Amino acid sequence: MSGQDTSVRSALTHAGRRVLPESTQANPRLRQVIADRREIAAMTRDRVSSPITAFKFYALTTPGKLGVIMFAMVLACALTGFYASSNLNQRSATMESLIESSEPLAEAAEVLYSSLSVADAAANSAFISGGRESPDLRHQYADAIASSGTALVASADGGDLGATTGPSAGVSVRDDLDTMAVQIPSYTGVIETARTNNRLGNPVGSAYLVQASAIMQGNILPAAERLYNQRSAAISEPQRTLTVPPWGVYVALFTTIAMLVISGRYLARRTRRHFNLGLVAALVALGFGTVWLLGTGLASVAAANTAKTSGAEPLHELTTMRILTQQARSVETLSLVRRGDPGQLDRDFNSAINQIRGTTANLLADHDDSDIVTPLKQVQDSLVLWERAHREVTQRLAAGDFNAARALTIGTGDISTASGYEQVNTSLLSAIDEARDTFRNNINTAQKLLGYTGTVIGWLCVVAGIAVIGGLVARIREYR
């Protein structure tokens, strides 16, 4: 028997060599032992030579499965926290940029556009007063030119100067700013020439005034309008995303919570324990973050939507109405400068008034509970007075009574186009201020609501990841 044991050991030690006697090789039990040893040696060599094979071997065990689950959950928490934090902080930064940069630039462009229109209308009104113009009209013109200069500097000091403003890519913000910087001094120079000739009683003064108005209407105002539209678009575009809830963040959070619940059920079946404190803590952290986001996120979206519908959109319409008001006043006074058949100028006036009336009615219908309702109703009433005075001026001009027509155009009585224009302009300024306040207040509210949400959710995801590690590592150690 001892001789046979010696033969078996020799066979096991010298694998691959035929050292067993024939009687030993015929033993099936011995052959099985040798086969098992060879299989174990092969598996050992494979595990040592291939980490992937070793990982697969370990992953099939219960502690290996728990390790894979832990890694997947920690990775999910980390990715969710990073995505939620970056997405929400970007939203907050966009809102802050709207308040600090985009809206002031749009306001500067609006002031520039409207001030230039006011200057043109004031220059025409001052000219038809005859001789030395009234101090009020002179002061109004000087203030408008000064405001336009300040607004031009503010419009150039920020934003993307290479962005396009016109319908074609050939017109940029820089091009329009250069146009206004060159043309405004030319305009004021021609106006001073017209004013000098008007004081001296030279008829050529009206020709200079028409030339100045052509520079304003043909070159300066189109550039100012393109700039204003571009600055307004810079406000409108971000709001399209700010008024949509962050669905991606919601999906990421709910997916991670679902993964935690499924992992908890699997762990309960394996360990016969209903709860794992680590997974419960992770669920509490992510659940708190989700509830917080539902509250602040939806409230922020509601505030941003109010800023868009009750602030930015009516603000753009009101600004357009004010520009139309200045243009109507400009063509109205220019028709007196020419002292002829108003013709196209009168048609332009009626077109501008009709557009103002139609836009006012639409805004009242869409924003019947807004703060702009009262000034808009004042606009409607003032338009009636302005049109009645304008018809009276037209009748006096048709009868050849220029002095009476001039008195009705630049006078301060109840029946005066100047009074009607001032009332419309003042009401529109009030409505613009209300719309701007609504926009800024709601964007500011939305930014405050969402301010720290992204950072808080990011840290809650970190806490959830740490809790998952703490809960599963304890279970994995039980298998050692």
Residue 400 falls within a domain, yes or no? Answer: yes
Number of structural domains in the chain: 2
CB 344 within 8 A of CB 217: no
Residue 250 falls within a domain, yes or no? Answer: yes
Radius of gyration of the chain (CA): 40
Percent of the chain at pLDDT exceeding 70: 80
Residue 51 falls within a domain, yes or no? Answer: no
Token pair for 81: 């926290």
The larger pLDDT score, comparing residue 205 to residue 258, is at 258
pLDDT band at 173 (very low <50, low <70, confident <90, very high): confident
DSSP class of residue 311 equals I
The verdict on 6 and 77 lying in the same domain is: no
Residue 130 falls within a domain, yes or no? Answer: yes
Res 130 pLDDT > 70: no
- Residues sharing a CB contact under 8 Å with residue 367, sequence separation 6 or more, in sequence order: 310, 314, 373
Residue 49 falls within a domain, yes or no? Answer: no
Tens of pLDDT, residues 64-117: 778 888 889 999 999 999 999 999 988 888 888 888 888 888 888 888 988 888
The verdict on 34 and 69 lying in the same domain is: no
Tens of pLDDT, residues 21-64: 554 445 666 666 676 666 666 666 555 555 665 556 555 667 77
Residue 417 falls within a domain, yes or no? Answer: yes
Residue among 127, 298, 265, 124 nearest 198 (CA): 127
The verdict on 30 and 140 lying in the same domain is: no
Res 450 pLDDT > 90: no
Give the residue numbers spanning the domain of 181. Answer: 64-98+107-477
**297 to 188, 243, 333, 445: CA distances (angstroms):** 51, 10, 52, 12
Tens of pLDDT, residues 329-365: 888 877 777 665 566 677 888 888 899 999 999 998 8
**92 to 58, 239, 246, 299: CA distances (angstroms):** 45, 12, 12, 13
- Residues sharing a CB contact under 8 Å with residue 396, sequence separation 6 or more, in sequence order: 402, 404, 405, 408
pLDDT band at 288 (very low <50, low <70, confident <90, very high): very high
pLDDT band at 16 (very low <50, low <70, confident <90, very high): very low
Residue among 345, 333, 332 nearest 123 (CA): 333
The verdict on 281 and 361 lying in the same domain is: yes
Helix axes 103-128, 135-156, angle to 10 degrees: 150
Helices (H) and strands (E) in the chain, counts: 18, 0
CB 20 within 8 A of CB 11: yes
Neighbours of 270 (CB within 10 A): 12
The predicted pLDDT at position 422 comes to 87
The verdict on 29 and 81 lying in the same domain is: no
Residue 231 falls within a domain, yes or no? Answer: yes
The larger pLDDT score, comparing residue 11 to residue 137, is at 137
Res 169 pLDDT > 80: no
Residue type at position 196: T
The verdict on 388 and 472 lying in the same domain is: yes
The verdict on 28 and 126 lying in the same domain is: no
The predicted pLDDT at position 41 comes to 62
The verdict on 150 and 23 lying in the same domain is: no
Residue among 224, 227, 232, 100 nearest 161 (CA): 227
DSSP class of residue 303 equals H
The verdict on 28 and 116 lying in the same domain is: no
C-alpha 114/C-alpha 147 separation (Å) is 10
The predicted pLDDT at position 241 comes to 78
Tens of pLDDT, residues 364-394: 888 877 788 899 999 999 998 888 888 888 8
The verdict on 381 and 320 lying in the same domain is: yes
The predicted pLDDT at position 255 comes to 93
The verdict on 363 and 417 lying in the same domain is: yes
The predicted pLDDT at position 110 comes to 86
Tens of pLDDT, residues 238-253: 777 788 888 899 999 9
Residue 54 falls within a domain, yes or no? Answer: no
DSSP string of 416-468, one letter each residue: -HHHHHHHHHHHHHHHHHHHHHHHHHHHHHHHHHHTTHHHHHHHHHHHHHHHH
**319 to 50, 158, 225, 308, 359: CA distances (angstroms):** 72, 21, 11, 15, 11
CA atoms within 13 A on the CB side of 219: 17
The verdict on 90 and 25 lying in the same domain is: no
Res 178 pLDDT > 60: yes
